[in-house]
Amino acid sequence: MGGREGGLPHLTHLDLSGAQLNGGRTTLRVLIDFVRRGGGGSLVSLGLARCALGEEGGEGVREALEEGRCGKLEELRLR
């Protein structure tokens, strides 16, 4: 792909609200890695309400966002 890493460069809104992360820790790691990589760089809104992230998941998302890779993120829904 022209030397760039994979991703979704044009994704602006991702709403997983209510999704049951049935893969447990594996699914959580994939989600947190996606956020860490900047969600494609253009992510503006991320909905994770009612996903049963738990304390570990919430902490992982917080750490990923603190890394500053989602610089365009304006909205994060966790409730």
How does pLDDT run across 21-74, given as a tens digit for each residue?
766 778 878 888 888 777 767 889 999 888 878 888 888 888 888 887 788 889
* End-to-end CA gap in the chain: 37
Q: Which pLDDT does position 23 carry in this prediction?
A: 64
Q: What are the φ and ψ backbone dihedral angles of 55, each rounded to 5 degrees? A: -65, -45
CA dihedral in degrees (15, 19, 26, 45; nearest 10)? 10
Residue 7 banded pLDDT, cuts 50, 70, 90: low
Stated length of the chain: 79
